[in-house]
Chains A and B, each alone.
Chain A
């Protein structure tokens, strides 16, 4: 399938996705990945959970010695001569952790703009989360392990800072999601929602271990697979080509015949579908982001269709 847009157009559109004019169009969206189970009180009500104090009355429960007398429902005691304690709807904050793959594969093919798309999506998701008063933390996964830009971002006005920081990074080095995630988990102990933005071009065991580690740490995980038109339909002007792995620096001679091209597509589809099915099995929302499509399509259709946003 030929690319929908040229490289220059993709650069322009995905660059605009991180700008305030586009972000404002996302005001009505919310992160739909699980619920926050942090201990930190926040402004987000947690379904089926109660707390002793709060703003919104949830239900009564029988008094047990030791309960705070201020929380006894005296009206119920007068009416029914029964000691009941009011409980309120629990409100916790649900931090959003954006784990962005910054390995060399994210910059290849150069025309796919995967790194730019990842940064733009991160900005959009961060904005949505901050608009809903959930903090955001960004983790950059590269061959050095994991780097996070800021401890926590708590205000939508901090999104430009996020965009600026992401723009200064340069994709390089091999992909190792397992090590990167492990390093990130050692840095932060604030479970929340973890959305992994990567091309997942690693052996299945690698990304499976990485996502399992997040799940085991109490995160609600979502996986976004970035895929560009050049990666979907590679095109060469000579039949004999030397494919060069930008991460491992290995190469391989290929006769780029139609048959071999079809075999590559099949391998790619198998890899993507394998990732999808594993995520589905493990309750991880999964979405393929086509960088050849405009950002609005990715955000409003792909992410909402996958249940990452609502």
Chain B
């Protein structure tokens, strides 16, 4: 036999109170007589006056009190069918970011943990438990086991992630695990997601333990840094969006800092469920830009976001090209901006590349690629592409038109460019893509994919091949504006060598470059070391918000993970109401076994109370 609420036995202190009350009352019960003269013949009892000798009324009152205390303790007997080992219970725990929300002095996850622990502790002896967690990737953290200590220990170790999570996949895992005709299996779900928002086919037949109701949350909805190609931090601007997810007006303060120094601060008041945008310019330094909300709310996770302000420096070019219209145009562009400086201008490569950021080869192919990032435009080793008919005969005398048909929009060389705005190209050189490259822009001709732009890294240097011959192309006209931007992006990308800090969102995966002989290590936010798997391209899962440091042989790179999930940040919930599969909505957080005796004991107590009332009346 067990007790669902053993703490109720603390109320046994009232039994002491009842005895003291009885002694006090008994002591006060005096029998007035006109004279002791007639009573002196009766001897006084030879006992201590305050010896406890209760009467039947006292025992009746004690029985009432005992019945009420036992009813509150709610005893139960394990296993109504007598077969304890046949029962199973699956605990599905939500570990999404919203479970970190504070509820009074605790958190939603802690409330869920306590509810799960109460289910474990109140279940029949021999019940097997499984734990399934709902996160970005649902998984089973504990297979079926009857070791309740182990289950409770695993529950204690659960920690919420800084990611959004869908509950349905975890429910599907639990449903499959519960589909055992040999055993009765209950599924208990501990989450802050209202049951009604989950599709019926996933939640049917499951116990639902909702937690949390607070809607107190201000969040940074977005941080965008606008910084033109070749622009430095002084010309960059930042736009920060702040949203009030609560149902009441909120006040807050937004602070922006770079290089560890706060350079701007704004106070604001937001109405309920509104978003405001704040503009910042004159950014004093390049580097990681951190936007922080200085207010206390229920979910501090979304009070900080990162952005990257690129450092600026003029790109020093070495132009290796024969006299051509393209070379002239490039010189004219360099003359109009401080961001580009042509240090070497010759048809032949210089002997030394010091002081050169990017080497641009037009219609030239060096025998040995220089030890600096390089851009090959229409390399002479390629063959011009001609459109031919099915028989391989040049089918047209008109100038061929090669349109950009496919692109890698995540490549930094396409930042700020809409590839659909490229005017068709007329001269494409067909080259064999080198193994270190990836096609950023593609076209198609004669039934084959042809790369327009190839980019990659070799010998720790960035390289790019532009198969379009820019000769006789007026880059300064409006028609070729997109092509000009592509050229500037290429120069900018080639000159940087690295992206600096990479900005990503929590819950996403980052494929790191080939690890080489040594597996890179990652320092996650909070200082925890993450070991990545061996392989050519290990994957880093961004489960936490903050800065990740990736340590390689070649150096350390930083990844800033932002938590940005309006669904998780909107933490307001209706008042939690536990749900039982039979349709009843119970008020308690404990899972009362069907064979609990609490209600019966309450009835016994009520009956005894009525009896005591009548008995006391008769005595009076």
Q: Which residues of A contact B (CB under 8 A)?
A: 104-106, 108-110, 175, 199, 201-203, 231, 234, 236-248, 250-255, 260, 263-264, 266-268, 271
Known: A234-B33, A240-B53, A243-B30. 7 other contacts (CB 8 A): A109-B34, A201-B38, A202-B35, A247-B35, A254-B45, A264-B42, A268-B38
Query: Are B34 and A238 in contact (CB-based, < 8 A)?
Result: no
Q: Is the CB of B26 within 8 A of A199?
A: no
A108 close to B42 (CB less than 8 A): no
- Contact between A201 and B44 (Cβ–Cβ < 8 Å)? no
State whether A245 touches B36 (Cβ < 8 A).
yes
Chain A contacts of B44 at CB under 8 A?
252-254
Q: Flag B7-42 by CB within 8 Å of A: 1 or 0 each.
A: 000000000000000000011011111111111111
B182 within 8 A of A: no
Closest chain B CB from A279 CB (angstroms)? 18
Chain A residues, CB < 8 A from B53: 240
Q: Output the least CB separation between A110 and chain B (Å).
A: 7
Query: For B34, B37, B53, which residue has the most chain A Cβ atoms within 10 angstroms?
Result: B34
Residues on the A chain within 8 Å of B41, using CB: 263-264, 266-267
Q: Please indicate the chain B residues that have their CB under 8 angstroms from the CB of A245 in the complex.
A: 33-36
Q: Does residue B55 face the partner (Cβ distance < 8 Å to A)? A: yes
Contact sample, A vs B, 5 pairs, CB 8 Å cutoff: A108-B33, A240-B53, A242-B29, A246-B33, A267-B39
Query: Which chain B positions have C-beta within 8 A of A106?
Result: 34
Interface centre among A202, A231, A242, A260 (most CB of B within 10 A): A242
B619 at interface, CB cutoff 8 A = yes
Question: Does B157 sit at the interface, judged by CB under 8 A?
Answer: no
CA gap between A231 and B29 in the complex, in Å:
18
**With known contacts A253-B45, A254-B42, A260-B42, A244–B37 Cβ distance under 8 A:** no
CB distance from A244 to the nearest CB of B (A): 4
The answer to whether the Cβ of B587 comes within 8 Å of any Cβ in the partner chain is no
B49 close to chain A: CB less than 8 A: yes
CB neighbours of B34 from chain A (8 A): 104-106, 108-109, 199, 201, 231, 245-247
Given the known interface contacts A240-B26, A264-B38, the answer about A109 and B45 at a Cβ–Cβ threshold of 8 Å is no
List chain A residues, Cβ under 8 A from B45.
240, 253-255
A254 to B32, CA, bound (A): 12
| Chain B residue nearest in CB terms to A260 | B42
| Contact (A238, B26) CB under 8 Å given A110-B32, A255-B45 | yes
Contacts of A268 in B (CB 8 A): 38
- Which residues from chain A contact B29 at a C-beta distance below 8 Å? 238, 241-242
| Contact for A248 among B26, B36, B49, B619, CB less than 8 A | B36
* B interface residues, tally (CB under 8 Å): 22
Q: Do B32 and A246 touch across chains, with their CB atoms under 8 A apart?
A: yes
| CB atoms of A109 and B36 under 8 A apart | no
The answer for the CA separation of A238 and B31 in the assembled complex, in Å, is 10
B28 (CB) vs chain A CBs: closest residue: A242
Q: Please report the C-alpha to C-alpha distance between residue A241 and residue B36 in the assembled complex, in whole angstroms.
A: 13
- Nearest 7 pairs of A and B residues by beta carbon: A105-B34, A201-B35, A244-B30, A245-B36, A108-B34, A241-B31, A260-B42
Bound-state CA distance A196–B432 (Å) is: 144
A175 nearest CB neighbor, chain B only: B35
Say yes or no: B31 contacts A242, CB within 8 Å: yes
Smallest beta-carbon distance B619→chain A, Å? 5
- A202 / chain B contacts, CB cutoff of 8 Å: 35, 37
Q: Is the CB of B49 within 8 A of A253?
A: yes
Nearest to B35 among chain A residues (CB) is: A201
Whether B36 contacts A252 by the Cβ 8 Å rule is: yes
A110 to B35, CA, bound (A): 13
Instruction: Note all chain B residues with C-beta closer than 8 A to A199.
Output: 34
CB-CB under 8 A for A242 and B30, given A203-B37, A250-B36: yes
A243, B39: Cβ atoms under 8 Å? yes
- Expressed in whole angstroms, the minimum distance between the Cβ of A128 and any Cβ of chain B is 28
For A253, the chain B residues whose CB sits under 8 A away are 44-45, 49
Give Cα distance in the complex from A245 to B37, angstroms.
9
Residue of B nearest to A261 (CB): B42
Are the C-beta atoms of A244 and B33 separated by less than 8 Å? Answer: yes
A247 CA / B33 CA spacing, docked (Å):
9
Shortest distance in angstroms between A177's beta carbon and chain B's nearest beta carbon? 13
Query: Which residues of B are found within 8 Å of A239, using beta-carbon distances?
Result: 55
Q: Which residue of A lies closest to B44 (CB)?
A: A253
Q: A231: which B residues are within 8 A, CB to CB? A: 33-34
User: A244 touching B38 by the CB < 8 A rule?
Assistant: no
Chain B nearest Cβ from A45, distance in angstroms: 42
How far does the Cβ of A231 sit from chain B's closest Cβ, in whole Å?
Answer: 6
Closest to A103 in B: B34
**A252 / chain B contacts, CB cutoff of 8 Å:** 36, 39-40, 44
Query: What 0/1 readout, one digit per residue, does chain B (144-162) give for beta carbons within 8 Å of chain A?
Result: 0000000000000000000
Chain B residues with CB below 8 A from A234, complex form = 31, 33
CB distance from A91 to the nearest CB of B (A): 43
Contact of B38 among A104, A109, A242, A271 (CB under 8 A): A271
> Looking at B26, B31, B45, B49, which has the most chain A CB atoms within 10 Å of its CB?
B31
Query: Chain A contacts of B30 at CB under 8 A?
Result: 241-244, 251
User: Measured between alpha carbons, how far is A106 from B39 in the docked complex, in Å?
Assistant: 17
A175 CA / B37 CA spacing, docked (Å): 12
Q: How far is the CA of A80 from the CA of B619 in the complex (A)?
A: 88
Q: Looking at the assembled complex, report how far the CB atom of B601 sits from the nearest CB atom of chain A, in whole angstroms.
A: 30
Shortest C-beta distance, B254 to chain A (Å), equals 77
**A201–B35 Cα gap in the complex (Å)?**
7
How far apart are the CA atoms of A127 and B38 in the complex, in Å? 35
- Smallest CB gap from A203: residue in B: B37
A1 to B33, CA, bound (A): 18
